[in-house]
Amino acid sequence: MLSEHPATPDRDGNPVGLDRGLEFEALGCFDQVHVLVPDERVEATWEPPPSPMLARHFPLRRIVPGSIILEAFAQLGSLLLEAGAGFARKALPAWIERARFRQPVEGSRLVWYRVQRLQGDAAGAVLEAEARQAEEVRVTARIGFVLAPMSQFFGQEHLLEYRRWIDARLTWAARAQMQADPARSPR
């Protein structure tokens, strides 16, 4: 869904954010969140789309680019930490280490993600992530995040759209886990 609001300028007067026509849908690297235990772990799936980008990477064997898998880890890690902060703080990837591409991630098969918190505090956290297909670990990484006030990144109307985007991807079980602590619910 494209925003109908006029572009919001940044500090230098340049239009930014969702108003530029960027859609959360186009940025999402996961389809459904099956488990979301705030500040502990998140598990999600993604069905790679039959996109021209994947068809060219590679024509005889569709392989998901590693950068997309790492982006999914970042998105899910952000969701995990933001849910833990009641969506009052934005989680930003600060570094990545130990990224291992053990096997190609096939572009024609469902991808299962798991991201879990290893350590952290109110300022940031270290998470461990993995992508699986057919019960085989394909990609692993460790990602560090910093946390900052959500209001520095989203206006109120954008935050509501972001929360709706998240809520649409939560399974019943994940939604129940979020609602176990009403302060963390994405509604």
**What is the pLDDT, as a whole number, of residue 1?**
35
**What is the pLDDT, as a whole number, of residue 82?**
95
| pLDDT confidence bin for 8, thresholds 50/70/90 | low
State the average pLDDT over residues 111-126.
Answer: 96
pTM of the shown model = 0.83
CATH of the domain at 132: 3.10.129.10
Quick check: is 122 in a domain? yes
Rounded distance between C-alpha atoms, residue 172 and residue 163, angstroms: 16
The domain containing residue 116 runs over which residues? 24-182
For 42, counting Cβ atoms within 10 Å of its Cβ (0-12 exposed, 13-18 middle, 19+ buried), the class is buried
Name the domain count of the chain.
1
Rg (CA), the chain: 17
- The tens digit of pLDDT for each residue in 73-105 reads 999 999 999 999 999 999 999 999 999 999 999
Quick check: is 9 in a domain? no
**Is the pLDDT reported for residue 179 higher than 90?**
no
**What is the pLDDT, as a whole number, of residue 26?**
55
